[in-house]
């Protein structure tokens, strides 16, 4: 498969680009931020995502979706990143659906209709500390009656406040660091004993601290097999990480574009500052880094879609590389804008804040660099 988008994927890209630019643009983002919306996104826009078919990208055609792959999900996410579109797409339609795809038919029948119609929002309850450490999960799920009782705390549950369902990773046996003993659950946020404290993040997205105080769930809330959730969690993380890398790439590309435009227009010393070699070389270096990140992200998506055994390595490479390139893009962006880059009026700072939050989502560049070393056996 050549490493560029095919004609169908390009058509999807065009329609996603038009949609985000028209309906989910930066002005829309500012509107929802400024009215201090408790959910941080527009439910009407989420319904439109569903009408466009986006929420069903990873859902099979038999089950009413588009039956497409990670490459197509990434195409939509890149446009989300480029326009700073607030939506629960990544947690719901990418990572959430990927987890449910690995679960039983009953769960899919229960949750897919709401996702396909844009009525349902999923959030992921994985992290328990300030850094992403999925191999160190300690939250307990103990057997009780026909099901399980969940006790513990989760944080950085993005869209956790507005979600109707959480995908929760917990330990049914074993201890932190062990592969066996992890189980994934689909938990209704209305469950008794579940409390959420939704907080606004630096990028104006909403994330929740979630406390589970004896939350009882049925056995049919288990996604996959009890104690065998590790591989399933990995599959969900692969989807979420590749998706987040694609969104990050969009943030970096958007920031680079507005910065290059800015230095083509700004004059100092009676000269367009974009004529200065000091800026040209940095802009060209940034272009090079973004191009490499783009190739890496697409490669990881294609490998996931092909079911390659080496996909996990490439996903970590993509997450790290996209994060580093985009971080460079937003930082150079603010610097090259000069004083106005520090103002809320200009958009470049919004890109910087979005990148910061995305980089922490499902592991930052350091985390994935360490994983790459481990996967290489050193």
Partner 1 sequence: MSDLESFRAETAAWLEANCPPEMRRPVVDESDICWGGKNPTFKPGQKEWMDKMAAKGWTVPDWPKEYGGGGLSRAETKILLQEMGRLKIRSPLSSFGIWMLGPALLHFGTEEQKLHFLPPIARGEVRWCQGYSEPGSGSDLASLQTSAEDKGDHYLINGQKIWTSYADKADWIFCLTRTDKSTKHKGISFMLFDMTNQGVETKPIVLISGQSAFCETFFTDVEVPKTYGDDVSSVVGEVNRGWDVAKYLLGHERSMISGDGSSGATSLGSKFADQYGRDEMGRLDDPMLRAQMAEMDIDVLAFRAMAERFGDTFKANLCHPAQPNMMKYAGTEINKRRHELIMSAGGSEVLEWESDASNGGLTARGWLRTKANSIEGGTSEVMLNVVSKQILQLPNA
Q: Interface with partner 1 by CB under 8 A: which residues? A: 2-4, 260, 263-264, 271-272, 274-277, 279-281, 283-285, 287-288, 291-296, 298-299, 313-314, 316-318, 320-321, 368-370, 372-373, 376-378
Please report how close the Cβ of residue 19 comes to partner 1 at its closest, in angstroms.
24
Please report how close the Cβ of residue 174 comes to partner 1 at its closest, in angstroms.
19
Residue 160's φ and ψ, nearest 5 degrees, are -65, -30
Nearer to partner 1, 10 or 38 (CB): 10
Q: Which of 191, 184, 170, 190 is nearest to 220 (CA)?
A: 184
Nearer to partner 1, 44 or 278 (CB): 278
- Cβ of 147: how many Cβ atoms within 10 Å? 16
Please report how close the Cβ of residue 303 comes to partner 1 at its closest, in angstroms.
10
Q: Exposed, middle or buried: residue 82 (CB in 10 Å: 0-12, 13-18, 19+)?
A: buried
In whole angstroms, what is the distance from residue 88 CA to residue 77 CA? 11
Nearer to partner 1, 3 or 176 (CB): 3
Q: Which of 13, 75, 9 is nearest to 245 (CA)?
A: 75
Please report how close the Cβ of residue 334 comes to partner 1 at its closest, in angstroms.
18
Please report how close the Cβ of residue 18 comes to partner 1 at its closest, in angstroms.
21
Nearer to partner 1, 121 or 290 (CB): 290
Nearer to partner 1, 61 or 261 (CB): 261
How many angstroms separate the Cα of 280 from the Cα of each of 7, 11, 140, 186, 336? Answer: 33, 33, 54, 50, 11
Q: Exposed, middle or buried: residue 275 (CB in 10 Å: 0-12, 13-18, 19+)?
A: exposed
Nearer to partner 1, 142 or 335 (CB): 335
Please report how close the Cβ of residue 76 comes to partner 1 at its closest, in angstroms.
20
Please report how close the Cβ of residue 306 comes to partner 1 at its closest, in angstroms.
14
- Cβ of 305: how many Cβ atoms within 10 Å? 18
In whole angstroms, what is the distance from residue 91 CA to residue 158 CA? 8
Nearer to partner 1, 202 or 284 (CB): 284
SS3 state at 101: helix
3 state SS for 244-265? HHHHHHHHHHHHHHHHHHHHHH
């Amino acid at each position: 498969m050549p490493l560029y988008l095919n004609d169908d994927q390009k058509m999807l890209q065009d329609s996603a680009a038009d949609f985000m630019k028209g309906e989910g643009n930066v002005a829309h983002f500012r509107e929802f931020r400024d009215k201090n919306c408790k959910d941080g996104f527009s439910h009407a826009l989420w319904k439109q995502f569903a009408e466009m078919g986006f929420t069903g990208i990873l859902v099979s055609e038999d089950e009413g979706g588009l039956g497409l792959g990670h490459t197509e999900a990434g195409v939509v996410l890149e446009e989300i990143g480029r326009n700073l579109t607030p939506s629960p797409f990544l947690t719901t339609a990418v990572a959430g659906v990927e987890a449910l795809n690995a679960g039983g038919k009953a769960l899919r029948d229960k949750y897919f209709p709401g996702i396909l119609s844009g009525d349902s929002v999923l959030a992921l309850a994985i992290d328990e500390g300030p850094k992403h450490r999925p191999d160190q999960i300690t939250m307990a799920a103990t057997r009780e009656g026909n099901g399980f009782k969940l006790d513990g705390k989760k944080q950085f549950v993005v869209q956790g406040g507005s979600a109707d369902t959480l995908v929760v990773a917990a330990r049914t046996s074993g201890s932190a660091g062990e592969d066996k003993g992890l189980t994934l659950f689909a938990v209704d946020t209305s469950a008794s004993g579940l409390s959420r404290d939704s907080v606004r993040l630096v990028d104006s997205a909403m994330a929740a601290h979630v406390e589970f105080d004896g939350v009882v769930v049925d056995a049919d809330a288990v996604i996959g097999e009890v104690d065998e959730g590790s591989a399933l969690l990995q599959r969900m993380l692969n989807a979420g990480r590749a998706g987040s890398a694609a969104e990050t790439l969009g943030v970096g590309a958007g920031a680079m574009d507005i910065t290059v435009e800015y230095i083509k227009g700004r004059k100092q010393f009676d000269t367009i500052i974009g004529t200065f070699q000091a800026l040209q070389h940095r802009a060209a270096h940034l272009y090079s880094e973004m191009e490499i990140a783009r190739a890496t992200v697409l490669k990881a998506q294609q490998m996931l879609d092909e079911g390659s055994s080496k996909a996990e390595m490439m996903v970590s490479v993509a997450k790290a590389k996209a994060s580093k390139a985009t971080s460079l893009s937003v930082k150079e962006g603010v610097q090259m804008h000069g004083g106005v880059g520090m103002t809320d009026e200009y958009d470049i700072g919004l890109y910087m804040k979005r990148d910061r939050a995305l980089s922490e989502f499902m592991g930052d560049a350091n985390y994935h660099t360490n994983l790459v070393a481990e996967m290489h056996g050193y």
